[in-house]
Chains A and B, each alone.
Chain A
Amino acid sequence: GQNIDQPTEMTATEGAIVQINCTYQTSGFNGLFWYQQHAGEAPTFLSYNVLDGLEEKGRFSSFLSRSKGYSYLLLKELQMKDSASYLCAVLDSNYQLIWGAGTKLIIKP
């Protein structure tokens, strides 16, 4: 079966750095997405990785290792507004998106 694993919840301090991991086992791979979802709101796109390595976009970076079936989202200089759920999703060989259950990130002052 297809599976995506993320930690259920993480806590971090304002101004700090946090890394949210995602491991996947899917039938084929055509890219990995990260979305941010604030409570009661819709998911919004953060990043897309299809090649191994690190993609940096401001305070957010996303890393992919295809051989390990592993990705992480790195958030720097955490702000209170970063409190949200972070969803990892993989595009499989049929171009269907397989979603993880999401990681709820709590930022404390």
Chain B
Amino acid sequence: NAGVTQTPKFRVLKTGQSMTLLCAQDMNHEYMYWYRQDPGMGLRLIHYSVGEGTTAKGEVPDGYNVSRLNKREFSLRLESAAPSQTSVYFCASSWTTGGPEKLFFGSGTQLSVL
């Protein structure tokens, strides 16, 4: 049972380059999320999706676009990377967003923008 699969694990970009992070879950979850994690800060929500074909902005959406390709897959795109986007990115999924529903996380993508 793979759970949440996230690719790539590491990436180095130059300022202005673009890239797409891919996330897939095999748990039939409705909700999917993209977070970033920076030293000394809590996880911050970038965008999320409450079901196939839907997306919504989180706390820090600027500079990122997302696409819920189907129920399994949720991608995050950086159109023109900036050094401020250097971070560790996590994809996560859950059945719903309320109550005791826990998040399942992917293994993370360490992104450096030079």
Chain A residues with a Cβ under 8 A of chain B = 4, 8, 30-31, 33, 35, 40-45, 48, 50, 87, 89, 91, 95-102
Smallest beta-carbon distance A9→chain B, Å: 11
Decide if B97 touches A33 in the complex (CB within 8 Å): no
Interface-facing stretch out of B37-45, B64-72, B77-85: B37-45
Question: Whole-angstrom distance between the alpha carbons of A97 and B102 in the complex?
Answer: 11
Chain A's nearest CB lies how many Å from the CB of B2?
13
Contact B42 A101 (CB under 8 A): yes
A90: shortest Cβ distance to chain B, in Å?
10
Are A98 and B42 neighbours in the complex by a CB distance under 8 Å? yes
List residues of chain B with CB within 8 A of the CB of A45.
Answer: 102-104
The minimal Cβ–Cβ distance linking A46 to chain B, given in whole angstroms, is: 9
Whether B103 pairs with A99 at a CB distance below 8 angstroms is: no
A42-B90, A48-B100 as given contacts; A99 in contact with B42, CB under 8 Å: yes
User: B102–A33 contact, CB under 8 A?
Assistant: yes
- Contact across chains for B107 and A41 when beta carbons are under 8 A apart: yes
Q: List 7 A-B contacts (CB under 8 A).
A: A8-B40, A31-B99, A40-B108, A41-B107, A42-B90, A45-B102, A95-B98
Report whether A31 and B100 are in contact in the complex, using a CB–CB cutoff of 8 Å: yes
Task: Point out the residues of chain A lying under 8 angstroms from B103, CB to CB.
Answer: 35, 43, 45, 97
Chain A residues with CB under 8 Å of B106's CB are 42
Residues of B within 8 A of A101 (CB): 40-42
Docked complex Cα distance between A40 and B107 (Å)? 8
